[in-house]
Amino acid sequence: MALATCGEVKTRDAAQDEEKEMPEADAPVESNESLDMKANMKRLAGLTPLTDAEFAAWKPDAVLGLPATNVNTNSPEDVAMFDITYYAGGEKIRLHIVDGAGKRGSQLTGPAHMIAVQDVDEKIPMGYIKTVRENGIKARERHESANKEYQLKLFYGNRLFVTLTTLNVGRARTWQALEAFDLEALLPK
């Protein structure tokens, strides 16, 4: 092949063309986690999101003795998002769930896939963020000692992006609250 530039003629041989088409040895290769995430997002996109009625039938009226004080099941089209708050005597538990089913749901749960595969352990002012495992559940736990807040973020059942935030409840009871929600019951059989 001949290339012309400002009167000069440069030639390239076939070996140079083939070289360009060959992938470089140090080119990034997608990790198994990345491939698994993409496959799961594709699987989730084909599922039907939970309905507001299914969430309402599932939600507990009280958790750790705290009554439900605010329930929001107003989900946008093609995504199921549920939010429920329990509060009494200065103690608060807030559960937020994004169902990864449906096209939009699968996109919204992208960060949850990363929580499921990445481990963190860092100090923040007045607290920490770290990956923990309790009773077979892997979660990103955040604690802020100044306001006595705990937050757990997890990807449950490769479908539900769950955020549980507690105030004045303590770490042990935060995990008890997570177990009290019986997230398994939200997953279709």
In whole angstroms, give the CA distance from residue 141 to residue 154: 9
SS3 137: strand
Q: What is the mean pLDDT of residues 16-27?
A: 45
Q: What are the structural domain ranges in the chain?
A: 34-186
The pLDDT, as a whole number, for residue 31 is 62
Residue 5 is classified by DSSP as E
| CA-based max dimension of the chain | 85
Tens of pLDDT along 58-114? 999 999 999 999 999 877 777 899 999 999 999 999 999 999 999 999 988 887 888
Higher pLDDT, residue 52 or 140: 140
Distance CA 71, CA 11 (A): 71
Residue bearing the bigger pLDDT, 80 or 8: 80
C-alpha 35/C-alpha 110 separation (Å) is 13
Contact 99, 52 (CB under 8 A): no
pLDDT exceeds 60 at position 14: no
Residue 15 pLDDT > 60, yes or no?
no
- In this prediction, residue 3 carries a pLDDT of 47
